[in-house]
Structure 1
Amino acid sequence: MDAWGLFTALAGPVVGSFVGLVSIRLPAGAAWIWGRSRCASCERSLRVIDLAPLLSYAISQGRCRSCGASIPWRYPVIEAGCLAIGVVSALGQSGPAALATALLGWWLLLIALLDAEHFWLPDLLTIPLGLAGLALTIGALGQPPLPQVIGAIVGYGALALIAKVYEAVRGREGLGGGDPRLLGAIGAWVGWEALPSVLIWACAAGLSLVAAKLIARRRFDPAAALPFGVFLAIGAWLTWWTGPLHRLYAP
């Protein structure tokens, strides 16, 4: 593991703390860049010892040091998830690619959380994700620009067209407005050739969820909305790692 990988792995929990904060504050319309973190129960401003990723939760045994209120488990889980993304990226890549890989994973995790909990894919996150993809893949990783630019255009256009056709045929919205922009952003990272793989992985993830609910004998409404952004995020991460499926299984 080189210096890039070490930094990426160590940054994981810190980024996870930020991701957990943004996933709560952004949907609430609260300031998520500036402002002190406070206990949701007693409003006490949190100190450095309260904000150490993973460590503070373990030391306090999951409770506020002032009022004893339970700290939501989602915070250490997100921090651990970002740590895992950082470590996996550091072990699987070297140099700037390790940090770029982790950045994509962290960003997709935040987007997936917002879509899973609020059915919301804000432009504030999806559009900068695409711009970052173009900048990093072309500038830092030396990818040719044309496949990435075409990927962004085709990714957005394909889902936007499907959404329009579905709405015209069924008379109701089938895809949220953020889904095409998310796929466009993903296309800027993986390039146009990999977009079918992203969609295949995404559909497989969605069908797996439906199958799991049926196996668990939970009531499933076929007309119920599913957070497709979550599945696109999974598809993007898997495609980034494995590459396009047609290359993976080429003779």
Structure 2
Amino acid sequence: MPLLDALPFGAGVALAALIGLILGSFIATLVLRWPAGRALGGRSRCDGCGRALGVRDLVPLVSAFVSRGRCRTCGARIDPFHGRVELVSGLIGVLALAWAPGTTGWLWALFGWLLLPLGLLDARHMWLPDRLNAVLAISGLFLAGPMLEMSLLDRWIGALAAGSLLALVAWTYRRVRGGEGMGGGDPKLVAAIGCWLGWQPLPLVLLLASLGGIGWAVVAQRKGDRPLALRPVPFGVFACTAAFAAVPLWPLISAR
């Protein structure tokens, strides 16, 4: 990416933030509409009065701030989920380009932007769509080599090893416990993550994801009344978070 590599540090961070905010608006719409069976295309409309939203209503973060979080026509409250996702997506771009200006940073940002809708859909609906997993996997095989300097072979091995390991865990749980212990999308997600990271960082990813899942389950158990064994854990949320964190952590751990 010669053109992006040539950007000054501040310009790169600002551009990544802007791209993140714009993508965050689309990601929020996708997460809200897709599970409800609503079309992803077409004009955005107010959920209260159905008015088609114009450009001044769709500026990430700014429009909601100016309108105080309400529709200018009917006064209906705008779901704050939009602004939160836009902010997180923008921060992904800022963090990535501040940490690694140039190709590595842009690839890390792209990785984060692809992981974000998967993590949100799993958190809200316990759903990891095959199509999003496929986009993550294919983009990783084609683009991710320079991010951690992993060869295509390493990334193929990572995909096959990670997917097979989690599929085996899910199969073993069904055989031993007689029920589903892991959703079908989790092995596919971790396989797609392997397409980006290669096989070497995957133990770190699985360790961080498992610790995050265990911590979440323990906290949720203290706040609720369902037994821990019966409480579903959105493992995809923790796998996405761990995969994103592994990009800067792995070079530090593996440095000699």
Normalising by structure 1, what TM-score?
0.92
SS, match of residue 156 in structure 2? helix
Q: Percent identity?
A: 41
Q: 2 CA distance for matches of 1:208 and 1:94?
A: 33
Aligned to 2:77, the other structure's residue is in SS state: coil
Give secondary structure in 1 for the equivalent of 2:174: helix
The reply to whether residue 233 of structure 1 matches residue 240 of structure 2 is yes
CA-CA distance at 1:247 after TM superposition: 2.1
Paired residues of 1:64 and 1:70 also in contact (CA < 8 A): yes
Structure 2 portions without partners, runs of 5+: 1-8
2:99 matched to which residue of 1?
92
- The residue identity in structure 2 corresponding to 1:26 is W
Deviation at 1:145, TM superposition (A): 1.1
Between the aligned partners of 2:146 and 2:245, the Cα distance in structure 1 is 22
Q: Distance in 2 between matches of 1:27 and 1:246?
A: 39
Q: CA RMSD in A?
A: 1.9
The structural deviation recorded for 1:107 is: 1.7
The whole-number CA distance in structure 1 between the counterparts of 2:148 and 2:173 is 38
Equivalent positions of 1:176-191 (< 5 A) are 176-191=183-198
- SS across alignment from 1:143: coil
| Bigger mean CA deviation after superposition, 70-79 or 131-140 | 131-140
* Equivalent-residue separation in structure 2 for 1:81 and 1:131 (angstroms): 24
Report if the CA contact (8 A) 1:4-1:99 is conserved: no
**2:209–2:239: 8 Å Cα contact kept in structure 1?**
yes
Q: Say if 2:254 is the partner of 1:247.
A: yes
The amino acid across from 1:116 in the alignment is A
Instruction: Provide the rounded CA distance (Å) in 2 between the counterparts of 1:168 and 1:106.
Output: 36
CA spacing shift, 1:169–1:141, aligned 2, 3 Å: closer
Cα distance, 1:153 vs structure 2: 0.8
Q: Distance in 2 between matches of 1:109 and 1:63?
A: 25
CA distance in 1, matches of 2:131, 2:248: 25
- Stretches of structure 1 lacking an aligned partner (at least 5 in a row): none
Distance 1:140 1:196 in 2: 18
Greater CA drift, 22-31 or 36-45: 22-31
Structure 1 position 207, deviation (Å): 2.1
Tell me how many residue pairs correspond in the alignment: 247
Pair 168,211 (structure 1): closer, same or farther in 2 beyond 3 Å: closer
User: Deviation per CA, 1:82-113, whole angstroms, max 9, x where unpaired?
Assistant: 11111101101121222211111122121111
Residue 28 of structure 1 corresponds to 36
TM-score w.r.t. structure 2 length? 0.90
Residue 219 of structure 1, CA deviation: 3.5
Q: How does 1:25-174 map to 2 (within 5 A)?
A: 25-32=33-40, 34-138=41-145, 143-174=150-181
What is the alpha-carbon distance in structure 1 between the residues aligned to residue 14 and residue 44 of structure 2?
28
Aligned counterparts of 1:149 and 1:224: Cα–Cα separation in 2 = 33
The C-alpha deviation readout for 1:183-227, integer Å capped at 9, x for no partner, is 000011111111111110001111222343456x54352111111
